[in-house]
Amino acid sequence: MTESFVVSARKYRPSTFNSVVGQSHITDTLKKAVLSNHLAQAYLFTGPRGVGKTTCARILAKAINCEKLEKDGEPCDACNSCKTFRENRSMNIFELDAASNNSVEDIRALVDQIRFSPQAGKYKTYIIDEVHMLSTQAFNAFLKTLEEPPPYAIFILATTEKHKIIPTILSRCQINDFNRIQVKDIVSYLQYISEQENIRSEETALHIIAQKADGALRDALTIFDRIVGFTQDEVTYDFVVKNLNIIDYDYFFKAIELIHDRNIAEILLVFDELLNKGFDGQHFLMGLSEHIRNLLISKLPKTDILLDVPETVKNRFAETAKDLNKSFILSALNILNQFNISYKESKNQRLHTELALIKLCHIQDAIDLAQTFNDQKKKAEVDKKETTKPGLSKDIEHKEKKAIDESPKKKNNFSKFRDLQSVKQQVKEEESQEKKVLTETSQETAEKNKKNTIDQRRFIELLNKYLEDEIKDKMISLYNSMIENKPKFPDEFSVLFEFENASLEERFNKGMGKFTDFMNKHEIENFQIQTTTREISREEQSKYLVSPAEKLKHLRGKNPELEQLEKKLGLSAEE
C-alpha cells in the first residue's frame, strides 16, 4: 500500500478538464475554444503555485490533438494520440522549466524544434513553466518566435508572477488567471481520493492538510501522500496535527476562553506548554489571530463562505463567537497585528509574546470601563435634558402621576393641589436640584422660557377688566379682596393670588375655570394660578404651592394621557 500510494499526486493529477479542481472558469473557456477550433497562438497561465496551470496546459495539448474529441471539448483519453500523451511519449508536447533552464541556449534549442511541423496530429504545444525566470536574452530570443509562429505551434507560458512578464509578451498572449483553490474544494478532492483508495480520512484532518497547502492542490496531495505513507490507510486529525506542526484548534479555543476570562496565569502556562512542544510565539499568536478572524466571520451574517473550517468545528466557532462582542474581537486583532509587526525586531521574543497575551487579557477590562463611562455620560445627558425643560425629571412626574391616581375624586384645581402636597416631601430634594439646573439653563431653554413668561402688565389689565365685568356685581367681597391684594408673579409662569381667608380663596377657586378661559381668550395662556391665604405663613405656602402647580400644567401639555386620566377621575377644573 505504502509503495503504491506515494504516487497519488501523480496518479490523481487530473487528465481531463472536468477533473481539474476549482478552475472551471478557465477549463470551460478552453473546452469551447477546442471545440470551435478558435485557439490562441499563445496562452499565459498565471496564478499561485500548485493550482493546475501545468496540468491544464497538458490537458489542452492533449485535447487539441485528440482524434475523437468528446462533444463537450474533452479529450477522449483513449485514441492513439491521447494514449501517447498519457504515457508521456507524445512528440507534440515540449516542456521547458524556465526555473532551471533559463539560458538563451535553452530557448534556442526549443525554438529550433519549432521549425519542424508535427509528424502526427495537428499541433505542437510548447509549455514554458515559470516563464518569468527566463533571462533577458532568452526572453528576446523567444520573442522573435512568438511574433511569427508557425500555425501548428501553440505556446503556453505559465507563471506565478505575472507582473514580471514584459508587456510585449503579455500583449501576444491570451491571459488566464488561475485561482487559489479553496480549502473546501481541496478537502472534497482528498475525500474523493480517500474513497477511491479505501483510506479512512477524518474531515478535520483533511481540512488541516488543505489549509497547510494554502490553496495549492499539488501541495495538498503531496502532504496527503506523506501522511498515508506513515499511517498506511488512515488520516486522523491527531496524527496530522502532530506531523504538520499545527497547533490544535483546542488550544485556540482554550486561549480565547482564558483571555476573555482575564486569566493571565493560565494563558501564560498554555504558551509555555506550546513552547515546550516546539512552537514559537509567532506561530501561536498568528494562529490565534486566524482563529479570532474566524470568530469574527462567524458573528457576521452571510459570510459563511469565508469561513474555511471543517463543518464539525463551525458550530464551535459560532457558539464561542456568541459570547464575544465585536469590540473585543477587533481589539484583539489589533493587538495581535501590532505583535506580529514588531516580533522579528524584539530581542526577547518570549517576553514579547507574553506581553501581547497580557494585553489581550486586559481588553475586557477596557471594554467594561468604556461601558461604564458611556453609561454615566448617557445618564448625565438624559438627566440634563429632562431637568432643563421647564418640567421635571421622570421620577417626579411618576410620583405626581401616582399621587393623582391615588387621590380621591375632586372637582377643582385647588383640591388637586392640596393632594399634591403629599408629594411635596418626596420631591423636595429633586426640586432643589432642579431649580439649580433651571438657573443654569442653556440659551435655548432661556429662549423658550421667554415665550412662556407672562406679560405681567397685560395680565393685571385683563384681571381688572374681569373683576369689573364678572365679579364686582356678584361677589363684592371677593372683588374687594382681589383689588386689594394684587397678584404676585413668583416666577415666569406662575401667578399667586392671596386671600384674607379660606372662604374667599374657595370662592375664587370655584370660578377659576371661567377666569382661565377669559385669560386664554385674550391670549394669556402659559400661566399657572396658585392661591393662598394669609392664615398660614406666606413663605411656607409659596414653597409647596408653587411647584406642583407649574409641574402639573407642564405635565398636561407633555402627556395627553395625564389629562385623560384627570378627566376620567373627574379631577380637572377645566371640565
When the beta carbons of 16 and 135 are compared against Zn ion, the nearer one is 16
Q: How many Cα atoms within 13 Å fall on the side-chain side of residue 430? A: 23
> How many CB atoms neighbour CB 544 within 10 A?
19
Beta carbon of residue 7, minimum distance to Zn ion (angstroms, whole number): 23
For the chain, helix (H) and strand (E) counts, in that order, are 27, 9
The site for Zn ion (CB under 5 A) is made up of 66, 75-76, 79, 82
Cβ pair 542, 381 in contact under 8 A: no
Beta carbon of residue 69, minimum distance to Zn ion (angstroms, whole number): 7
When the beta carbons of 61 and 471 are compared against Zn ion, the nearer one is 61
When the beta carbons of 66 and 153 are compared against Zn ion, the nearer one is 66
When the beta carbons of 68 and 458 are compared against Zn ion, the nearer one is 68
When the beta carbons of 69 and 205 are compared against Zn ion, the nearer one is 69
Beta carbon of residue 153, minimum distance to Zn ion (angstroms, whole number): 20
**Which three-class secondary structure state does DSSP give residue 263?**
coil
Order of strands, sheet of 124-129, starting from the edge strand that comes earlier in the sequence: 93-97, 124-129, 153-159, 42-46, 174-177
In 3D space, the residue among 475, 572, 466 whose CA is nearest the CA of residue 515 turns out to be 466
Beta carbon of residue 83, minimum distance to Zn ion (angstroms, whole number): 8
In 3D space, the residue among 504, 558, 557 whose CA is nearest the CA of residue 532 turns out to be 504
Beta carbon of residue 15, minimum distance to Zn ion (angstroms, whole number): 11
When the beta carbons of 82 and 186 are compared against Zn ion, the nearer one is 82
Total residue length of the chain: 575
Beta carbon of residue 222, minimum distance to Zn ion (angstroms, whole number): 29
| DSSP structure class, residue 305 | G
Q: How far is CA 574 from the centre of its chain?
A: 56
- Give the three cell numbers for residue 340: 506580529
DSSP per-residue codes, 154-220: EEEEEES-GGGS-HHHHTTSEEEEPPPPPHHHHHHHHHHHHHHHT-EE-HHHHHHHHHHHTT-HHHH
The CA distance from 498 to 515, in Å, is 16
Beta carbon of residue 67, minimum distance to Zn ion (angstroms, whole number): 5
Beta carbon of residue 270, minimum distance to Zn ion (angstroms, whole number): 58
When the beta carbons of 47 and 75 are compared against Zn ion, the nearer one is 75
> How many CB atoms neighbour CB 203 within 10 A?
17
In 3D space, the residue among 537, 532, 546 whose CA is nearest the CA of residue 434 turns out to be 546
When the beta carbons of 15 and 531 are compared against Zn ion, the nearer one is 15
- Pairing type for strands 494-499 and 153-159 reads unpaired
When the beta carbons of 61 and 573 are compared against Zn ion, the nearer one is 61
